[in-house]
Structure 1
């Protein structure tokens, strides 16, 4: 860790922060102290739309800003008569002449922009919004982050372009406490936060859940939003820890776009395009279409990937106050499944390139979605929004089984693995309907920002699983081996079984599972303004969920001809839960807020209790407190959050030694008697561009452990969660200081550092044998220990460097990732040990249309 922070110091972090103390523009520091003033004002759009997309800039300079949602703005400018240019898409721009006096604030009268035909040309705005001025759309309620008693974070498109982000993990490297916990099979990045996994219920695109079994495409993103902590009041059944929302690029009325080509190490090629504009000369219909194709090999022997992506969208202005946004999304991803390098007796067998799958393995996934969002501003205070969405997800997996059962006995067979095969086919249809009403009003001295809403969604899923066929020589057994290899030397010659699997088509149908999960919820949330300094956020949601499942099982040993099912198992679950939320915000000064909050979430359980009834959901309590700061006149945002999350009624098995076990109505009873606790602290720092510099930094500490269990030791850490993470990105744009230099003004450079601390893989060892409820003994009755073991995963430090240059419409960016060539792993149990990427190079050539 000391090397990490020393490197940040050496790379310019401290000078950037010191520079920030003098304000948002320090190009001529000495001169500004003697000759600068402030302009404040408010911009109103004639049709009542929010003004947060307006550009306010000082003509002839690089100084500018964007107003807050209510139209208010604050801008530093040189002393003397200045011309402000105020403009926005689809509105007639205006110029205002104003005299700026030294060290004084000049307040302008409210300015109204009327609808107009003139389109906004491209401008450079060095101001922009700070971290605590960007409300997240995933939060639904239109409140400023400083008034939200919850940690939120937004990563904008400019950062993604500066860092040349390729995967979602590249974007997450800017967010404290949200991390990749595994890359099982190499086809997805499994995300977690605060000790809890982000399932498909926790991942959203444009406010709609999406199946995260596929790596999402980053090139289409306008921004990424993170809402940490509980989001159950807004979305119902979401795991604790937070939610992630990917916001794609939106239609624009001015015409433009870009084309680009990215190339990189290991044969990587990625052409991409983005076009947008009004349909014809219309000021009521606009479109956008972006897409990409990607192909490349890998640092992993035998691994390759191909993907095609399209993201079309259309915006219709139905009335001056009503818009309909229709968005589509298509992704086809075909890659080699990769379960890593293998482990022997819970020991990682170090390698970066060793590949253990069969040559014809593949993981083919397609995902298609359509979303329609209707937004109507009823008046200046009230808005209604309706969303309808559909998503189709298909996956076909043909792969070797995960590497388990590897021989660990020293000798000639050490490292041998009898390799099996797996095959599944998954299809899923997802439907969503959502309606939200938001508004602001007062009752006496109380101010209200109210959200009332309802949602309903449905998953229809079908999963076909295949298994091993009947042996031709032993009718009561199955053939389970494709071949035998040595994981340390896959080319080693080994005597093969006489009878073995011939390929994926030799597998037979094992089961057909049909699911039809249905959910509905009603929620209300109100931000009560008790005074200018004190605010309370209170809300409640009621959620209902049905989880029917129909499983058709087959007699696999005799099922040679894929005949109809032999058995049928039907299960029905009905769950409901209340999710409250209560938060308090105190703002001692305008730029600082202190907050504390409580919320809970719920997790449905699949088990059966002692009486034979389905287990109720587990309720998870979440406590959060922190401070949010806008420092140096908004040039730097610095937030600190502490949290504690407790699942005090976690489902666990009733052990056979329990007196109640003998009278249980089921052979595998469970009860809500376990407990898992997660606690930690997070720091997030972001700056506006200051004298050409921009900074993002963060740190997180987390400890997630069993704090009550009948088989796990109290205090034992849960797997996959790093105790520490730290991140810092520092970028410099030469245009700010060298605007008059033709050669330097298009140059920018940056460094990104990311640290992941110690983690655990493998499997948590158990102090009691779950099958007997007693301490472990061997076959002779002698005391022994659990076969499960934990794996200590090496911490690692990633350091990326990038350089970009733009001249008129052309741009070139180059990047070196993992400059220090660090080696570590992402683990799932002990059977998907995937090394992180080595040092790689990439370059992107772009052209603006």
Structure 2
């Protein structure tokens, strides 16, 4: 794969190219649209070649450098930022290579020569791009290169080959992980490719301290430190409020993302109203300044077939207009009976330099997923709490069960760079989703001796339509005060989400033979008239400000806060019954952190952050809405940025308290009939607590050896001493690693992953005298990659090598229990041109 480090823009006269005309895509099937846009992207490749045809005269420009020894790819990125140029390089050429430290005043020509010394590579000036290639192919000697723009930070992980990143952008200002006084994990593009992580739920399942929990109707959620990640906890390019059931009903294909940033603990500054679990920022891929084409083909167990195409480059000779298209199609079966899914996805983005200081991007995503044999509620348990003694292929579905979801997303952003390093950015998102479900719902605890108890409770139909809008505008930069340099961010954002949710059901009651389920026992029914038609409107707005102040050379203070306004109403348009109606105004969520640099590699930190959740649907005895519940995260830790930033390590202790939860006011039971939540009156008083510690390491341990590993210990409880997240184990370890063999074996890369956790148990909701649970487990994956040549690699991944049998999620005695995936094999071929 090629990577490009671009930090400049051209103000030359624009010339345009032509691409094949695809016509109107509105009425075409998604597959045809994908093909059309792929060919459009491929058409830009000759243009990019023409751009490189002539060599430009260069200026003798010097810069004062202070760069430590680091991976060669990162060094080239730093030089591109410093001189504001574009550097094009095949990632395979620089993988495992290290650039020496660079100090003092020198030209770009000198800096590149020193960085490439002993590598067998050289730099060649080709138009506005500096190309890195083997010396054997060199035909032009590099002159000194014209500086075309002011350098800037770039946290992009694509093409770095790394399991870590030098900067993160979840807070909208680009800081390193070490500079951030909160726990943050980054799942990079390299890690997603290595582990074949094609959906957001697969990505989050690799993140430190994140566990998946079972939810009704397949709208599953993840939890961090015992608290749930709901829709409000997700951002896309820093914009909140436009994600809906991204790990459940409407999964996101991760082929379009450069990285996924996961912040653990309360994230009120980023999201405002949410559980104190954290925030997940999905960072989209953007156009690159060099032409490129990447292909990925894979085939695995149970007929798991997938194709990806990623292509793009300059759309005009100057490279001031760039485009990119990503298309994917997955057709797969599952380890359990009947179910099969098809998931096409198409993503396109165009980026244009409107001048030296302004960049505009416009893009769109269309994704669909249809599941035949959709399994709504998983397996039941024995009535005594034990797990069913069944084959993992068992599913309690009817052949006509089906779920179909689709998402159409439009987005745009414009960034204008002001004097110094200040910049202003405006981002807009619009997402429209559609979900249709029909299924026979199986539930009921099973008698261990007779095998009787599970039935098809109802034949269920659901139709949901979601429209979301999100906006964010912010300004960021640095300023001088008291003889030191500080950073500042200020902005505002808002979101609006409308949901229309219709449902209907038909009673059935048919008994199920769990040892031999009949998938055609019930004829496909005709949907009856809708029984309910819920309509909701959720609006959130906020203003925020944060600053990173340098109190002394080693000491930085981070301060921030957000004022939030929100309004929510929901009602059934068929019955007219109001089910939700609350609002919150000027709710403040503060944030503070202190980072002390022990030396250039190590820092110690402490931080406080909170978030809130409205409770105005509950009324107090005086008739006033209940105040919000506030979740506060306290954290202290140690972070290291080692090997020139190629390896990040951290250790943290944390405590979370969510206080002021609504509890019934026993002295005024039944005296609040106008309350939407309950005729009872409520008071603030409930508490949820979580505490523990984490260890994490990500990046390059040794040349060619990448690792991403994290361990979490967490304990949680409510006021009665019960766990607030029964499915969250106390001990959780996840580790992934790859190692490129040295010398004559360098074409081979070997890797593996382990996921280990302790057991857990809890009282069943169906019967509080019965406990159900899952024992501890260790699941091991192995992987081998062979580089055929500069363009092609082939890999084999064996997941769950020991074929460990376990339940990945537990629900209740009657439903909601899901086996973990058995041993599987996946063969993948990748090409980069």
TM range (shorter): 0.7 to 0.9
CA contact (8 A) 1:610 1:661 kept: no
CA offsets 1:634-664 (integer angstroms, 9 cap, x no match): 453220111111012122334xxx2332644
Corresponding residue of 2:542: 521
Corresponding residue of 1:805: 786
Distance 1:587 1:48 in 2: 29
- Residue 548 (1) aligns with residue 569 (2): yes
Matches within 5 A, 1:248-287: 248-287=284-323
CA offsets 1:465-487 (integer angstroms, 9 cap, x no match): 2134xxxxxxxxxxx21522233
Give secondary structure in 1 for the equivalent of 2:178. Answer: helix
Distance 1:55 1:65 in 2: 20
Distance 2:527 2:661 in 1: 41
The equivalent position to 2:260 in structure 1, one of 212, 219, 224, is 224
CA contact (8 A) 1:330 1:366 kept: yes
CA contact (8 A) 2:116 2:122 kept: no
Structure 1 residues 245 and 458 mapped into 2: Cα distance closer, same or farther (>3 Å)?
Answer: same
Matches within 5 A, 1:336-735: 336-338=373-375, 339-345=377-383, 346-351=385-390, 352-404=392-444, 406=445, 408=447, 411=450, 414-468=452-506, 480-481=507-508, 483-491=510-518, 503-552=524-573, 565-569=574-578, 571-576=580-585, 577-605=587-615, 606-654=617-665, 658-661=666-669, 663-665=671-673, 667-688=679-700, 690-706=702-718, 708=719, 713-716=720-723, 718-734=725-741
Give secondary structure in 2 for the equivalent of 1:615. Answer: strand
Query: TM-score normalised to the size of structure 1?
Result: 0.78
Matches within 5 A, 1:61-76: 62-64=97-99
Structure 1 residues 662 and 430 mapped into 2: Cα distance closer, same or farther (>3 Å)?
Answer: closer
State the shift of 1:192 in Å. Answer: 1.4
- Residue 204 (1) aligns with residue 231 (2): no
Distance 2:798 2:208 in 1: 23
CA contact (8 A) 1:92 1:115 kept: no
Greater Cα offset, 149-158 or 833-842? 149-158
Distance 1:717 1:60 in 2: 45
Distance 1:164 1:41 in 2: 26
CA offsets 1:169-197 (integer angstroms, 9 cap, x no match): 44335421122233765x66522111111
Unaligned ranges ≥5, structure 2: 1-67, 133-143, 150-156
Aligned residues: 726
Distance 1:115 1:838 in 2: 54
Distance 2:120 2:571 in 1: 69
CA contact (8 A) 1:65 1:127 kept: no
- Residue 194 (1) aligns with residue 225 (2): yes
- Residue 138 (1) aligns with residue 145 (2): no
Structure 1 residues 846 and 41 mapped into 2: Cα distance closer, same or farther (>3 Å)?
Answer: closer
Give secondary structure in 2 for the equivalent of 1:440. Answer: strand
CA contact (8 A) 2:96 2:703 kept: no
CA contact (8 A) 1:342 1:832 kept: yes
Distance 2:474 2:192 in 1: 30
CA contact (8 A) 2:739 2:750 kept: yes
CA contact (8 A) 1:687 1:694 kept: yes
Corresponding residue of 2:5: none
Structure 1 residues 717 and 620 mapped into 2: Cα distance closer, same or farther (>3 Å)?
Answer: closer
Query: TM-score normalised to the size of structure 2?
Result: 0.79
CA offsets 1:736-794 (integer angstroms, 9 cap, x no match): x22xx4xx4322111111113223466469xxxxxxxxxxxxxxxxxxxx646442123
Structure 1 residues 179 and 78 mapped into 2: Cα distance closer, same or farther (>3 Å)?
Answer: same
State the shift of 1:622 in Å. Answer: 1.1
The equivalent position to 1:114 in structure 2, one of 141, 147, 156, is 147
CA contact (8 A) 1:761 1:793 kept: no
CA contact (8 A) 1:297 1:303 kept: yes
State the shift of 1:671 in Å. Answer: 2.5
Distance 1:696 1:59 in 2: 21
State the shift of 1:458 in Å. Answer: 0.3
Give secondary structure in 2 for the equivalent of 1:572. Answer: strand
The equivalent position to 1:833 in structure 2, one of 803, 817, 830, is 817
Corresponding residue of 2:6: none
CA offsets 1:660-694 (integer angstroms, 9 cap, x no match): 32644552333322111011111111232623222
State the shift of 1:221 in Å. Answer: 2.6
Structure 1 residues 60 and 261 mapped into 2: Cα distance closer, same or farther (>3 Å)?
Answer: closer
State the shift of 1:356 in Å. Answer: 0.8
CA offsets 1:83-135 (integer angstroms, 9 cap, x no match): 9967999844399xxxxxxxxxxxxxxx975249xxxxxxx99987784x622
Distance 2:726 2:816 in 1: 14
Structure 1 residues 594 and 508 mapped into 2: Cα distance closer, same or farther (>3 Å)?
Answer: same
Give secondary structure in 2 for the equivalent of 1:159. Answer: helix
CA contact (8 A) 2:299 2:828 kept: yes
- Residue 824 (1) aligns with residue 806 (2): yes
Distance 2:209 2:733 in 1: 9
Question: RMSD of the alignment, in Å?
Answer: 3.8
**Structure whose CA Rg is larger:** 1
Distance 1:378 1:238 in 2: 34
CA contact (8 A) 1:299 1:838 kept: yes
CA contact (8 A) 2:396 2:519 kept: no
Structure 1 residues 613 and 180 mapped into 2: Cα distance closer, same or farther (>3 Å)?
Answer: same
State the shift of 1:201 in Å. Answer: 1.1
Greater Cα offset, 256-265 or 56-65? 56-65
CA contact (8 A) 2:358 2:416 kept: yes
